[in-house]
Structure 1
Amino acid sequence: MRFIDAQPGDPVIRGLSHQLDEDRCTLRWQWPEGIQAVYIGRAFEILAGDAGEGGASAPSDSPSDKLRLYTRNEYKANNGYHDRIEGVGRVIYTVYASVTEQGDAVLFRQPDGANRAVFSTGKARVTVSIREKGGWLQKFKTVEIRVTTEVPIPKEALCYVKKQGSYPAHKEDGTVYPFVMDFAAGKNVLPAIEVGKNDYVRLFFTDGKKYGQLFELVQGR
């Protein structure tokens, strides 16, 4: 199996569409003339129910064991390609037109992206609880952060911000601190941190545009 970039006149996939019905996805596309089989790749962005399928981008050069051969006859019999999705996040399907040359499968990459379907299966809920402990006469207090999440989250997705006098309103509203460990699915109780008596802490996405598509961050006290 090998990949080549599609050139003018090569068989390419057009009209790729997807339809979601709970955890089932249906793909349909226009078959190029003369093509009897395609290869279908699936990847997840950030989150996945099956960690073995995980990835940050579509498998444009994935090994053959990550691609599924699907024939034109199967497509006609099933009225499309059906797949089950387990997980939350962005899903990327890529359909490659394929021909056989000297017994080897040749797959056509499409720079225009017309053979790629990208969509979200929903947002994972992330609940943050912050508890403070300290006496009136003390100069410092301890802050305990608890993060409860439906799915694993990479440490790069979240940060905590410390501000003096009031709770920070956004990531830039104070001093930003990264996390050093990933968050496992379920409850994560982080080591307590010591801050000034008038300091306040809140969690934010490191990149709201990117991670806000995947997670729903619920702030608590």
Structure 2
Amino acid sequence: MRFMDASPLTARVTGLSCQQEDDRFTLRWHWTTEIEAVYIERSAVDGGPDGGSLRLYTKAEYKANNGYPGRMEGIGRYIYTVYACQEDDQGPFLIRQTDGENALAISSGRARIQYEIQQKSGWFRSGKTIQIQVMTEVPIGKDVLCYVKKQGGYPAGKEDGVLYPFVSDFAPGRTVLPSFEIGKQDYVRLFFTNGQKYGQLYELVPM
């Protein structure tokens, strides 16, 4: 499909909005008189699975459905972009807008990540044994989580101590990680490696 940058002479999509209810949503926008069809693109952000191709949607379909209905699937945020479709002597082409009025982000919810940190120590031991268990609803990449060790108390954030990455991805369900030894005055807690990014995709809670 050909694209052309928007200009004062081309049609534009404006007033794009979204109404969400449970796992369903409806997109609505303003149709100008010269637009009879649009193409809708769904693309993933923040590392989610990509949505793929463009979909043709006509003004007649829009009127029949009172908008563009869709269903939120998977976990993460998606960008829906509505491109006005026009034609010239070479055929149809789509209008690429730079004002952002034809694009909207929709969140499909956060997946829950539960974790438990068990520690065992004894009177005659110089350290203690730590075992981490992670329970997740969806596959999680190893770069999403990390654990932080701090001496004298629990770390308040991933910068508050020594950060350790995980070496393997997490499959859905319960993962019991190999135990390891730390000092008797050391404490461990799990964090997102990037709270701003992954906090929009996942909810990290203790079991």
Q: Normalising by structure 2, what TM-score?
A: 0.90
Aligned length in residues: 207
Aligned pairs (5 A) from 1:4-43: 4-43=4-43
8 A contact 2:117–2:130 mirrored in 1: yes
Q: Which residue number corresponds to residue 67 of structure 2?
A: 80
Q: Which residue number corresponds to residue 2 of structure 2?
A: 2
Whole-angstrom distance in 2 between the partners of 1:134 and 1:105: 71
Please give the secondary structure, in 1, of the residue aligned with 2:156. coil
Q: Which residue number corresponds to residue 156 of structure 1?
A: 143
Runs (4 or more) in structure 1 with deviation over 6 Å come to none
Residue 96 of structure 1 deviates from its aligned partner by 0.8
State the percentage of identical aligned residues: 57
Does 2:176 align with 1:196? no
Whole-angstrom distance in 1 between the partners of 2:98 and 2:6: 8
1:154–1:32 CA distance, 2 compared to 1 (3 A): farther
Residue 3 of structure 1 deviates from its aligned partner by 2.2
Please give the secondary structure, in 2, of the residue aligned with 1:209. helix
Aligned equivalent of 2:83, options 87, 92, 96: 96
Amino acid at match of 2:151: Q
Aligned equivalent of 1:170, options 157, 180, 185: 157
Does 2:68 align with 1:112? no
8 A contact 1:97–1:108 mirrored in 2: yes
8 A contact 1:158–1:206 mirrored in 2: yes
1:147–1:47 CA distance, 2 compared to 1 (3 A): farther
Alignment root-mean-square deviation, CA: 2.0
Residue 46 of structure 1 deviates from its aligned partner by 4.4
Whole-angstrom distance in 1 between the partners of 2:84 and 2:102: 9
Amino acid at match of 1:17: S
Please give the secondary structure, in 1, of the residue aligned with 2:150. strand
Q: Normalising by structure 1, what TM-score?
A: 0.84
Query: 1:137-172, CA deviations, whole angstroms, 9 ceiling, x for partnerless residues?
Result: 222333111111122222222211001121112111
Q: Which residue number corresponds to residue 51 of structure 1?
A: none
Residue 107 of structure 1 deviates from its aligned partner by 1.5
1:9–1:136 CA distance, 2 compared to 1 (3 A): farther
Amino acid at match of 1:194: E
Query: 1:166-189, CA deviations, whole angstroms, 9 ceiling, x for partnerless residues?
Result: 111211111111222222222122
Q: Which residue number corresponds to residue 174 of structure 2?
A: 187
Higher mean alpha-carbon deviation, 70-79 vs 208-217, is at 208-217
1:190–1:45 CA distance, 2 compared to 1 (3 A): farther
Whole-angstrom distance in 2 between the partners of 1:39 and 1:165: 58
Please give the secondary structure, in 1, of the residue aligned with 2:143. helix
